[in-house]
Amino acid sequence: MLDFLTNDLLQLSDSAVRFAIPLLLACLAGLYSERAGIFDIGLEGKMLVAAFAGGAFSAFAGMSVADGGWGMGGWAVWVGLGAAIFASIMLSMIHAFASITLRGNQLISGVAINFFAAGITVLVGQYWFKMGGQTPQLRGGQRFEPITLPFAEALRDVPVIGSIYYDLISGHNIIVYLGFLIVALTWWILFRTRFGLRMRAVGENPGAVDTAGISVVKLRYSALIITGILCGLAGAYLSLGTAAAGFGKDMTAGRGFIALAALIFAKWKPIPAMWATLLFGMLEAIGSKYQTLDLGIIVLPGQFMQALPYILTVVILAGFVGKAIPPKAGGEPYIKER
């Protein structure tokens, strides 16, 4: 039993963190957008485009000049990250333009972004690399390497705390730590700053915000820029921070939608969003580690384990978590004069 706790549980948590990070970043991205009153089902598409831009630009930047690259060595991954964030912001701005300025239907704009992303990534990827939409395998400075935190090696042999520190907390790449930092930052912005207050207000009652002399349009655009940045990080994590080491067709695999479910589960709050995505990550980790789970009384088959995150999504959306009230003005374009 003790062995299970120290060993298996640690491994599971470690794996859960890695599974959860892209969900967490996408979930927080959705949080900014929906809190400002813009539904965003295009998270998936933004992540996908970011993953592609990250993989492609990191590949170009890391290739030697002789091979037609830019020969930037260890800086390549940062070029990739920058490109990922930029690409994601661009898509986010298209969504903003369609749903804020043109007052279009936000769901339709989101769906369009998802389809656009699925197609454009493979098309451009094939044109650039001729590898069926994949990017070349990234190596060394083209990827985010795991970071060993200070004293991790020294504390490794300390019982319990040492192994938790070494196995679970240390040894992830920078985006993982950034992700958790952003949770705290988001809480602070949302509940402790003027911008956060106004952003929440604009999602509840844009009319009131407007009456107070604050620009609804400007606030919503700023929120969607943040959404773009966070989706960019989530996508960059997939192509630059995992063992995929590059972009592959449709590599987001529905994570954007799971993130939306987690957002509802978390009732549009940052700290619960972290727990919700960690829960999804844990389920995925359990499904991967134990193909069949022997509970003593019954044996759960592998198919059930793999379906768990989706079953949970349905259960959550069916209202199991109590009343989840979305921001009141969500999905409604704001028209100044009626």
Partner 1 sequence: MQLLKTLIATTALVGAATFASAQANPAVIFDLGGKFDKSFNEMSYTGAERFKEETGIEYREFELQSDAQREQALRRFAQAGNNPVVVAGFSNATAMATVAPDFPDTDFVIIDMVVDAPNVRSVIFAEHEGSYLVGVLAAMASESGTVSFVGGMDIPLIRKFQCGYTQGAKAANPDITVLATMTGTDGSAWNNPVKGGELTMSQIQNGSDVVFAAAGGTGRGVLQAAADAGIYAIGVDANQNYMQPGTMLTSMLKRVDVAVFNAFNDVNNDEFTAGIQVMGLAEDGVGWALDEFNEGLITDEMKAAVEEARAKIISGEIVVADYMADNSCPVE
Footprint of partner 1 (CB under 8 A): 11, 15, 18-19, 131-134, 137, 238, 242-246, 248-251, 253, 285, 288-289, 291, 302-303, 306
CB of 23 to partner 1, least distance (A): 12
At 338, the amino acid letter reads: R
> What is the CB-side half-sphere exposure of residue 137 using CA atoms within 13 A?
2
Nearer to partner 1 among residue 221 and residue 280 (C-beta): 280
Phi-psi region of 105 (alpha: psi -120 to 50; beta: other; left: phi over 0): beta
Q: Which residue has the tokens 């992303």?
A: 117
Q: Which is nearer to partner 1, 142 or 186 (CB)?
A: 142
- Listed in sequence order, the DSSP H helices in the chain are 2-3, 9-35, 43-62, 76-96, 106-129, 152-155, 161-163, 174-192, 194-204, 206-211, 216-240, 255-265, 270-289, 302-315
Cβ 63 to partner 1 shortest distance, Å: 17
The CB-of-249 to partner 1 minimum distance in angstroms stands at: 6
What residues form DSSP beta bridges with 300? 293
CB of 264 to partner 1, least distance (A): 24
Please say which residue, 15 or 205, places its beta carbon nearer to partner 1. Answer: 15
Question: Smallest distance, Å, CB 118 to partner 1?
Answer: 10
Burial class (CB in 10 A: 0-12, 13-18, 19+), 104: middle
**For partner 1, the closer CB: 234 or 266:** 234
Alpha-carbon distance 91 to 42, whole Å? 9
**Least separation, in Å, of the C-beta of 246 and partner 1?**
8
Q: Please state, in angstroms and rounded to a whole number, the distance separating the CA atoms of residues 305 and 318.
A: 20
Name which of 97 and 290 has its Cβ closer to partner 1: 290
For partner 1, give the closer residue by CB, 146 or 319. Answer: 146
Torsion sign across C-alpha atoms 101, 107, 112, 118: positive
293's enclosing H/E stretch is: strand 293-294
Between the two ends of the chain, the Cα-to-Cα distance in Å is: 66
Q: Which residue's CB is nearer to partner 1, number 243 or number 318?
A: 243
* Minimum CB distance to partner 1, residue 155 (Å): 19
